[in-house]
Structure 1
Amino acid sequence: MTLQKIRITGDPVLHTRALEVPVIDDYIRQLVADMLETMDAAPGVGLAATQIGVGLRIFVYSFSTEDQEVRGVAINPELSISEFSEESLDEEADSEGCLSIPGERFPLKRANRAVLRATDLEGQGYQIDAEGWLARIFQHEFDHLEGILYADRLAKPHKRFMKKAIKENDWGAPGLSWLPGEDYLEP
């Protein structure tokens, strides 16, 4: 397994819809192993293939609570979400971050429930009915495969603050990345 560099917002692969995985072979199995290692080292709770520069419809995830531990891979996922609640945005509980916009967190309204249908590394289809934080993870990672970053969904004034953070960090251009465990960005 090999740690992979995580692309920073502005890289074209992050803003392009990913392609279907045609076959699960040794390349895909190695890619998933690298993604899991990179996600853990970052540390993160999810990582899409696009975030390491691979334009394929794959994401990995890891989520645990006292009652539940879920870790896996979603290949060629489909996602259905519930309607958004009428509750107002909670600045803390709805706060979200992204490994492709490192160090920044802003609140974002997401659906509380999601149904993930995907294929695992053995080629078997599965379904997970998720709610709460796990549903948020699935929505965030699925968005990556659609070429959407959570920053694209932010409402005012958070969208303005995010744009300022991107500008101050000299992000938003192709070729920027970071390697978990390193404290610098490398073009």
Structure 2
Amino acid sequence: MQGRPVDSYPALAPEAGRGSVRRITVAGEEVLSRPCREVTEFGTPGLSALIDDMFLTMHVADGAGLAANQVGVDLRLFVYDCPDDDGIRHVGHIVNPVLDLPAPGSRRLVDDFEGCLSVPGATMPVPRTDRAVVSGLDKDGNALRIEGTGYFARCLQHETDHLFGHTYLDRLSKRDRKDALRQMADRQEDVHAQRAAKAALLGS
């Protein structure tokens, strides 16, 4: 498993403190609808800078997770800063993740509301398993295995979906998808204004 429990952790992850805010792509943009490329070079300044930028961009947008294609980069990578249902905060990144879900007989599907930074202002119920494991690498090429339950499991599944070119809209019925896009059209201007205001407060 990645990481170890700590007694306290800063509200702004250290990576975010080094990063710059990037524009978040919006549903309908081509980069969100194609599978991302595997990362093949590790330990590079460019990869570290991308992760730092993604952490700050996620923080400014009040997100729990962010995939690289959500900042216009089609690489298999996501970052997260997400609580589980017990209130335990999980912070990290994973490169080239592979999702492992419980076997059908042992899994429990939970239908709960889900949002997406690339579908600003919209939330819809989406069924996800209540447990998920993701295996992959860190930015230096070291092996990682991350297990999540509850809301964090939802986050891991949501972000892995992005790397295959899917948003949660693809898991909705036509009627619910239309409803989500209507919500986005009504609210995205306010959401973008809130993100810009938070970025300005941070001087980013």
Q: Same fold (TM over 0.5)?
A: yes
Is residue 118 of structure 2 the alignment partner of residue 118 of structure 1? no
- Kept in 2: contact 1:5–1:180 (CA 8 A): no
- Give the Cα–Cα distance (whole angstroms) in 2 for the partners of residues 180 and 34 of structure 1: 18
- Kept in 2: contact 1:117–1:125 (CA 8 A): yes
Correspondent of 2:76 among 46, 53, 57: 57
Instruction: Please name the residue that 2:202 is paired with.
Output: none
Change in CA separation of 1:166 and 1:179 when aligned onto 2, cut-off 3 Å: closer
- Give the Cα–Cα distance (whole angstroms) in 2 for the partners of residues 179 and 48 of structure 1: 22
Deviations 1:53-80 (A, max 9, x none): 0000010001235652210001010001
State the 1:161 CA deviation.
Answer: 1.1
Deviations 1:99-158 (A, max 9, x none): 001010000001111111011123211112211111100000000000000011013642
Aligned-CA RMSD value: 2.4
Aligned residue identity for 2:73: V
- Give the Cα–Cα distance (whole angstroms) in 1 for the partners of residues 147 and 133 of structure 2: 5
Give the number of equivalent residue pairs.
172
Secondary structure in 1 matching 2:159: helix
Instruction: Please name the residue that 2:89 is paired with.
Output: 69
Instruction: Please name the residue that 1:175 is paired with.
Output: none
Change in CA separation of 1:149 and 1:179 when aligned onto 2, cut-off 3 Å: farther
Deviations 1:28-59 (A, max 9, x none): 00000000011111110000000000000010
The structure in which a higher percent of residues are helix is 2
Instruction: Please name the residue that 2:101 is paired with.
Output: 81
Percent of pairs identical after alignment?
Answer: 35
- Kept in 1: contact 2:34–2:165 (CA 8 A): yes
Higher relative contact order (CA 8 A, sep 6+): 1
Aligned residue identity for 2:108: S
- Give the Cα–Cα distance (whole angstroms) in 2 for the partners of residues 104 and 68 of structure 1: 25
Instruction: Please name the residue that 2:62 is paired with.
Output: 43
Correspondent of 2:169 among 146, 151, 154: 151
Change in CA separation of 1:122 and 1:180 when aligned onto 2, cut-off 3 Å: farther
- Kept in 1: contact 2:32–2:167 (CA 8 A): yes
Instruction: Please name the residue that 1:12 is paired with.
Output: 30
